Structure formats: C-alpha cells, structure tokens
A and B are shown apart, each in its own frame.
Chain A
Amino acid sequence: MTLRLKSLFAAAGVAGLAFLGVPSAVSAAGAKPEIAVVVKITGIPWFNRFEAGVKRAGDQLGVNAYQVGPTAADPAQQVKLIEDLIAKKVDAIAVVPNDAKVLAPVLKRAQDAGIVVVTHESPGQAGSSWDLETIDNREFATAVFQKLADATGGKGKFALVVGSLTVPLHNEWADIGLAFLKAKYPDLKPVADRYPVGESLDDSYKTSQEILRAHPDLKGFVAFGSQGPIGFARALERQNKTTKEITNVGNVLPKQAAPYLKKDQISEGFLWDPSDAGFGLVALAKKVIDKQPIETGIELPGLGKGTVEAAQHVVRFKATRTFTKENVDQFDF
C-alpha cells in the first residue's frame, strides 16, 4: 500500500518537477504580443471561418494570435481553457462566451493577473474591458422581420425558431422582432413560443415538418441559428412547396444556403462574416494592449467604423450581410 502510493505520487511529482525546472520559454519567444481567442466550440464551420480571421489578423497586425475552443459548447470547458491561458501568461484573452455568468469569475482572475480581456457577443460581460459586436441587434432583427412582413403581406401565422432558449443573442433578436411586429404588423402572429432547434439540422428539419403539419395555414418561418432555415427549406422541399407559399428567413451560412435560395426554399438570409468578427476581435485586443483609445469612430479592417457604447463597454459595428439568390455566390463561407 505505502509502496504503491509512494510510486504514484512520485509519478505525479516527476510531472510537477519537470515543468518547475523548465525555464520560461514562452515569454522569451519575442516581443510579439500573444493573443489567445477562446471560442464557444471548436471544429464547426462557423468558428473555422472565425479562425481564418484570427489568423489573418495575426499575420497583418504582427501579433501571435491563435484560436482554441472546447469540443462541446460547455462553459465549464471554456473555464478550464482560460485558466490554462492565465497560467501561460498570454497578453490578451479574447472570448466568445458560452455563458456570461460562468465566465465572469475566471475572466476577473485573468484581469487581476494583468491580462487584457475582450469578448464578442457578450455585451456588459463582467471581467472584460470591451465587447465587440459586429451588428446592431435592433437593426438586424428588424431587417429579418421586415422581410417576413413584406413577403407575407403583414398577415398570417408564422413559426419562430432560436438556437436554444439559453442563447441570449437569439432570444434578444426574437424579443425585438416580436415587439416590432406587435407595433407595426399586429396581424402577423407566432404559432407558439419559440422552438429551440436552430443549431441542429436534424432537429430543425423534424420540428419544421411537425410545424407544417400542425399549421397548414402557416405563412412564414423565422429562424435564428444557422441550421433553422436550412431545416425548414428541406421540409418545404419534401412537400413540394416554395417560398411563394411560405416565407422562410433567418440567419444562414451563404454557401450552405445557396442551393435553397436558388430553389426558392429560402427567401433571404441574414448574417455577418465570422472572419470579420475574428479579425476584429484580435484587432480590438491589440488596441487595448497598445493602450490606444477606444472611442466612437474607431476603425477596424473589414468592419468599418464603429460606435462605442460606454455603459455596456461595447464597440459596435454594422456589418450585416444579406444573401439573396442573386448575390449568394459572391460569398466564400
């Protein structure tokens, strides 16, 4: 028993000693500031595109920028990654949080350790000095619902899909949109509360079919979460229907949506380019590291000029892109 324990702790101890003895190679690596981007989940198209922007920023801005992320959209795993980055003493951590509340304590710890923290899609994040927003939420949501109203003539029933009930951004868009409809198009009504299936093609397809069954007089479909419109388009296809009968709008990745836009199974797609966001996030972190002023009129490549909302520590750009069957082939993501 004692022998075994001794050997175990010896093994663990060797591991410990090994790195205690290793002089810090990283901090000596050069004057290039190290900016680590922590995304929600690694290995999905959205964040692959995001990473392209991060790498581009690294090359163009002369920083050591790279992207990491957990295998599942689990905030606990993000906490672990950030804790490790604190240990690594990077210069800046840029986070796209899975859960603002969970990350607050660890981000504060990063700041206490002298690390610059910026976030994306998390306005008012505790523990972060700035938050980057690539779109104006009110404008974005209103544009989507305006399209719905235009295409349906402002009357009838529609279904509303979000990524999940816990994605604050999607639900904010949904709230804005519903308020907008109530004020301007009171005859356009949702069939039920929002369905939380927008991130999974499987689920959105299945739910779309069920919605079509339950509501044969459905006039429109609005989905936040990039798989929502695709799933609904596929359900329309199965029933030999097109957007002439039922409007289908929401956010999509243009390449994936292209065939459905052309077949009239998606009316119009809305999004911004994730690589712009990735680039902008690194650029913003670099500005903070360099102690450059962050104020309205700030310019970031790819995003244009931004406005600063001091109360929420938000730097906001308006980079919404709209995809139609005519323009969709210009986009390479």
Chain B
Amino acid sequence: MTDAIGSRTDGSRRRFALAGAAALAVAAFTAFGFGDATGLLRSVAHQVPELGLLVLAMALPMMAGGINLAIVAIANLSAVATALAFARLGGDGLVAPLALAFGLAVGGGCGALIGALVAHARIDPVVASLGGLMVASGVGILVTNGSAVTGLPDFVAAAADRTVFGLPLMTLVFLAATALVALLVHRAPFGRRLSAVGHNAQASLYSGVDVARVHLTVYTLSGILSALAGLVMLSRFNSARMGYGDSYLLVTLLAAVLGGVDPKGGRGAVWATVAAILTLQISASGLNLLGASQHAASVAWGGILIAKLALDRIRA
C-alpha cells in the first residue's frame, strides 16, 4: 500500500501495450518508407517536448486518482501571461527571467486553485478542473480578445532552434522536467504518499497521510508543468493564443494510460509515459505521411485507449 509508485507495476502489461504501439509505428514505416529518417526524427523531436510536458501534467493527477482537464488551457494562459509581460516590458536584462517566472507562476496558481478545490472543498477533480478550464480560457480570451499575442523579443523564437551539446534546448528542458518528476514520484517519500492517496484516499487519511496536501501539491505541479509546456509552445509558435493545441487532451490521456498510469490512481511510471508519447508521435507522423485522414487518427487513438483499458481489465 505504501510502496513508491512504479514498484508494483506489472512490467509485462506495459511492455505489451507499448509493443503494440511500436508495431503500429513499424507498420507505418515499412508500408511507406521515408525519404529521410533524420528529418522525421527532427520532426518528432520538435513536437515531443510540449506534448511530453502536458503528458506529465496529466499523469501526476491521474496517479493521485484524479484528472486535470485544464492542462491545455493553463498552458495557453501561462504563455499569454509571459507574452503580455514581454510586450509590456520589452525583453532586456532581467525582464526575460521575470516574464518566464510570471508565466510559470500563473500556471502554478491555476493548478493550485484546482488543487485547493479538490483538496479542501472536496470537489471531484473532473468538476474542479472543468471549472478551472472555463475560468482559465475565459480569462485568457478576455485579456487577449481571442487573438494572438505577438511582438515577442527575437530570442523567444530562437530558443526553439537552440541546441545545447547537440541536443535541442527544448528537449533538454523536457528531459530535466521529466527527471525531476521521476525523482519525486519514484524516489522521494512524496511518491509513497502519492501512491497511497491514489490507491485509497480514505485509508491513507486514516493512516496519517495529509491527503489534502498531496492533492494540492499534485495539481500545483500539474499547473507548473502545463505552464512549462505553454512556454515551449510560445517559443515554437512565436506567439501565444488561447486555443493552441486544444486537441491535445486525448493524446495526453492516451500516452499516460499507455505508459502504465493506472486511471484509477496509485500507479504510474514516469519514464514509461515518456516512451509512450514518443512512440505515439512517431506513429502519428507515420500516419500523416501515409496520407491517413486526421479523423482516422483520432478514431485510432480512441480505439487504442479503449483497447489498452480492456487489456488491463483482462489481465487484472
């Protein structure tokens, strides 16, 4: 009951699901054959950081037995906040770190608000994050009138193409965030509490776990990770607007579940979800290049999610 998250997981189950996704990717590749493999890798590498951060933002609340429907809205609101700060203050000297911190703080604040609703007002996470989603996107649309915030300093867009030690900067940011989350979930005492709350909140309350605090922490972290994803999008799109990436919700859920996060809470492996989003993105690109309709892709994602849940059910 109080094991750290991940140590109880059934590896073969997860291996199986991922092998399925990988097989899909392989099928796509062999059927098509790409002109340039490095080009494809670069294409995927460009997309993975923002999606991966959103997957982490989704996976954490799920491990605690909840969900955060507001991740994309929070990401955009944070990006808008940072963009507005740049627009107001310019991009010199200390402004850049301040603007970035402002965006992260907005994201963390939104997350904390949802967390407080879940933890203290004891509202179901679906409702709490739905309210958060409406408020975040409503506020974002009001301050921007629904249009994109542009006119960012040059280094914002340049950051998307920046490499450090041969690796894209955004990939490094993503890997660092993943490592931190993995450390927290798998190695730190917090992971044990998170697992306990996810398995059975009531029982862990009686065994002395500060459940409210775990929820608050989880949703605040989820908000910060969403904000980080928003900042990556800000750089990649060189602008911020409510509505970017609205369609990411399903794919983040799918990656989290494929990566072995138990949707009922209590279980999850951080690195496996990262592998899942990688595989998903490679297969998505494969489908794109095969000329499959994007609607077919959303049917496939939904179908795979249900199939994975069914598989878990059979093996349970």
Whether both chains belong to one complex is answered with yes
- A8→B15 contact, CB < 8 A: yes
B313 CB-CB contact with A under 8 Å: no
In the complex, what residue of chain A is closest to B296 when comparing beta carbons?
A71
- A102→B237 contact, CB < 8 A: yes
The complex places the Cα of A63 from the Cα of B189 at a distance, in Å, of 61
Of the candidate stretches B170-178, B220-228, B239-247, the one touching chain A is B239-247
- B244→A76 contact, CB < 8 A: yes
Give 1 or 0 for each of A86-123: 1 = CB within 8 Å of chain B CB: 11110000000001011011000000010000000000
Tally of chain B residues near chain A (CB < 8 A): 65
In the complex, what residue of chain B is closest to A24 when comparing beta carbons?
B35
- A24→B25 contact, CB < 8 A: no
In the complex, what residue of chain B is closest to A7 when comparing beta carbons?
B15
A1 CB-CB contact with B under 8 Å: yes
B279 CB-CB contact with A under 8 Å: yes
Known: A4-B269, A72-B247. A12 touches B279 (CB 8 A): yes
Residue in contact with A15 in the complex, picked from B22, B146, B291, B293, CB distance below 8 Å: B22
Residue in contact with B148 in the complex, picked from A66, A87, A113, A166, CB distance below 8 Å: A166
B18 CB-CB contact with A under 8 Å: yes
Cβ distance B45 to chain A, nearest Cβ, rounded Å: 10
B201 CB-CB contact with A under 8 Å: no
A80 to chain B: which residues have CB within 8 Å? 43, 47, 284-285, 288
- A68→B30 contact, CB < 8 A: no
Which B residues between 36 and 60 are near A, CB-CB below 8 angstroms? Answer: 36-37, 39-43, 46-47
- B40→A19 contact, CB < 8 A: yes
A102 to chain B: which residues have CB within 8 Å? 148, 237-239, 241, 244
B102 CB-CB contact with A under 8 Å: no
- A70→B294 contact, CB < 8 A: yes
- A87→B43 contact, CB < 8 A: yes
- A22→B36 contact, CB < 8 A: no
B275 to chain A: which residues have CB within 8 Å? 8-9, 11-12
A295 CB-CB contact with B under 8 Å: no
- A5→B272 contact, CB < 8 A: yes
- A74→B46 contact, CB < 8 A: no
B101 CB-CB contact with A under 8 Å: no
Which A residues between 14 and 53 are near B, CB-CB below 8 angstroms? Answer: 14-16, 18-20, 22-27, 42-43
A4 to chain B: which residues have CB within 8 Å? 9, 11, 14-15, 269, 272
In the complex, what residue of chain B is closest to A14 when comparing beta carbons?
B22
Chain B contact residues: helix, strand, loop or mixed: helix
- A77→B294 contact, CB < 8 A: yes
Residue in contact with B294 in the complex, picked from A3, A11, A69, CB distance below 8 Å: A69
- A22→B34 contact, CB < 8 A: yes
In the complex, what residue of chain B is closest to A71 when comparing beta carbons?
B294
A19 to chain B: which residues have CB within 8 Å? 29-30, 33-34, 37, 40, 286
- B293→A43 contact, CB < 8 A: yes
In the complex, what residue of chain B is closest to A23 when comparing beta carbons?
B33
A320 CB-CB contact with B under 8 Å: no
The complex places the Cα of A70 from the Cα of B287 at a distance, in Å, of 13
Chain A: interface residue count, which band? 35 or more
Cβ distance A1 to chain B, nearest Cβ, rounded Å: 7
The complex places the Cα of A5 from the Cα of B269 at a distance, in Å, of 9
In the complex, what residue of chain A is closest to B235 when comparing beta carbons?
A105
A75 CB-CB contact with B under 8 Å: yes
Known: A11-B279, A83-B46, A105-B236. A74 touches B288 (CB 8 A): no
A86 to chain B: which residues have CB within 8 Å? 39, 43
- A89→B35 contact, CB < 8 A: yes
A81 CB-CB contact with B under 8 Å: yes
In the complex, what residue of chain B is closest to A196 when comparing beta carbons?
B146
Which B residues between 154 and 172 are near A, CB-CB below 8 angstroms? Answer: 157, 160
- B14→A8 contact, CB < 8 A: yes
In the complex, what residue of chain A is closest to B157 when comparing beta carbons?
A105
- A87→B285 contact, CB < 8 A: yes
Cβ distance B274 to chain A, nearest Cβ, rounded Å: 9
A222 CB-CB contact with B under 8 Å: no
Cβ distance B79 to chain A, nearest Cβ, rounded Å: 11
In the complex, what residue of chain B is closest to A171 when comparing beta carbons?
B147
Known: A27-B35, A74-B246, A77-B294. A11 touches B19 (CB 8 A): yes
In the complex, what residue of chain B is closest to A43 when comparing beta carbons?
B295
A329 CB-CB contact with B under 8 Å: no
- A74→B244 contact, CB < 8 A: yes
Q: Which 8 residue pairs across A and B have the least CB separation, nearest first?
A: A25-B33, A19-B29, A87-B39, A4-B11, A15-B25, A11-B22, A102-B237, A83-B43
**Can you give 6 A-B contacts (C-beta < 8 A)?**
A11-B21, A15-B283, A22-B29, A22-B30, A26-B32, A86-B39
Query: Which residues of A are in contact with B by a Cβ distance under 8 Å?
Result: 1, 3-5, 7-9, 11-12, 14-16, 18-20, 22-27, 42-43, 66, 68-72, 74-77, 79-81, 83-89, 99, 101-102, 104-105, 113, 164-166, 196
Task: Give 19 new A-B contacts, CB below 8 A, not counting A11-B18, A42-B293.
Answer: A3-B11, A11-B19, A15-B279, A18-B26, A18-B30, A19-B33, A24-B33, A24-B35, A71-B295, A74-B244, A74-B246, A79-B237, A86-B43, A87-B39, A99-B241, A104-B238, A113-B39, A166-B148, A196-B146
Query: Which residues of B are in contact with A by a Cβ distance under 8 Å?
Result: 6-7, 9, 11, 14-15, 18-19, 21-22, 25-26, 29-30, 32-37, 39-43, 46-47, 145-148, 150, 157, 160, 233, 236-239, 241, 243-248, 269, 271-272, 275, 278-279, 282-286, 288-289, 291, 293-295, 297-298
